[in-house]
Amino acid sequence: MKRVVVTGLGAITPLGNSVNEFWQNILAGKSGAGPITKFDSSKFKTQFACEVKGFDATVYLEKKEIKKYDLFTQYAIAASDEAIRDAGIDFSSMSTADRAEAGVIWASGNGGIGTFEEQLKEFYAGDGTPRFNPYFIPKMIADIAAGVISIRHQLHGPNYCTVSACASSNTAIINAFDTIRLGKANIVIAGGSEAAVTAASVGGFNAAQALSKNNEGYATASKPFDAGRDGFVLGEGAGALVLEEWEHAVKRGARIYAEMIGGGMAADAYHLTGTPPDGHGAALGMEKALSDAGIDASQVDYINAHATSTPLGDLSELHAIHKVFGTKPAVSATKSMTGHLLGAAGAVETVITVLAVQNDIVPATINTTQLDEATPAALNIVLGEPRKQTVQYALNNTFGFGGHTASSLFKKYTT
């Protein structure tokens, strides 16, 4: 098996539209939540979200191109462009043969849901005559971001989209890892994007009793593990990684953030939207990641928890962590700051996890003031302020509706 390293990072988030801005705001413990601006939410039970702020698509695209792409694809282009620049890769200077060894595996849980809503609203408001935008279908379908990234950089390697609800982009990263270590590509741009702060998303998640309704206290509404949590805060954005075969990266003199060493995927096989109290699917996925990496649970220093701030989901994951790892690893929930980016969550949180490994720092869980009394005893949950400590190995968890679980494992890079 070939070694796989991370050589580039990109991010479009509610806390900043670059990796540096995003990371600094994570360390500062800022909340990305605010009143919804993308539609009139005054009649909705939830009227706030973690929206991306100040995003200017014209920085990345010509105006005529913008019309072709849903916002989730625009976010994907921006984040992947940053990751590619960060990796120091100039695909335009590569031969066709080299670009055939570079691929894109990109995720989205909802694809162009904004486009879908807009087009149907126009249709039903009219006289019934079908006057759909010719770009309606390519703007809407979830795989289009992967295709657009490959077209943009003329990458002819493996190219597809993973959809496993909120586990989607962590699944994409694990698939990219497998693709490279099996020798099927030298470089894969992996990640995910989501632009689901829309009326249908908010209304649907409200109907499912999933979103926080703390409209007055939106800045502190996302409080994973807290006794008073009442649901997740919807977020949007994109996260991107350049994963690269180790020898290929070393040969071109790349800067290496961390090494990816394992990935585990499993299923709860339990419920459409709920998680089992004992977290057996999550535990199995984490155990598979450890086995894949060939390390012991006691070696893991940090876990970026999925922890969305839902009453049942948070406890289920904590029980799974306690079962697999005991009380040693530091655990934090950065959705307390970013909100829940759905299919993009895994990629954005992988960026955080990789930077935690590189910088020996564990980001905090903010807003949590009183742990749920059912929290397993003596878990090492980092609250309030980031913690400086050695992070040799770190795990990132993401779980999705349908019972999907995905856990990716990284280590500090050494030659």
Give the domain extent around 92. Answer: 4-251
Which is nearest to 234 in space by CA: 243, 221, 225, 244?
221
- 247 shares its domain with 280: no
For residues 247 and 357, membership in a common domain is answered with: no
Domain count, the chain: 2
Reading the chain (415 residues) residue by residue, the pLDDT tens digits are 999 999 999 999 999 999 999 999 999 999 999 999 999 999 999 999 999 999 999 999 999 999 999 999 999 999 999 999 999 999 999 999 999 999 999 999 999 999 999 999 999 999 999 999 999 999 999 999 999 999 999 999 999 999 999 999 999 999 999 999 999 999 999 999 999 999 999 999 999 999 999 999 999 999 999 999 999 999 999 999 999 999 999 999 999 999 999 999 999 999 999 999 999 999 999 999 999 999 999 999 999 999 999 999 999 999 999 999 999 999 999 999 999 999 999 999 999 999 999 999 999 999 999 999 999 989 999 999 999 999 999 999 999 999 999 999 999 999 8
Catalytic status, residue 50 = no
Structure tokens at 39: 């539609």
Residue ending a domain, among 193, 226, 251, is 251
Does residue 156 share a domain with residue 56?
yes
Q: Of 232, 251, 270, at which residue does a domain stop?
A: 251
Does 276 lie in the same domain as 246? no
In angstroms, the CA 102 to CA 156 distance is 6
Distance CA 5, CA 23 (A): 20
Catalytic residue, chosen from 166, 196, 284, 381, is 166
- Note whether 247 and 266 are same-domain residues: no
Q: Which amino acid is at 258?
A: A
Tell me, yes or no, whether 327 and 400 share the same domain.
Answer: yes
Q: How far apart are CA 273 and CA 316, in angstroms?
A: 13
Same structural domain for residues 107 and 240?
A: yes
Q: Is residue 30 part of a domain?
A: yes
Structural domain includes residue 256: no
Residue 47 belongs to a domain: yes
84 and 105 housed in the same domain: yes
On whether both 197 and 327 belong to a single domain, the answer is no
**Paired strand residues for 303:** 331, 395
Which residue, 197, 218, 251, sits at the end of a domain?
251
And the tokens for 320? 């799974």
108, 226: one domain: yes
CATH assignment at residue 153: 3.40.47.10
**266 plus 215 within the same structural domain:** no
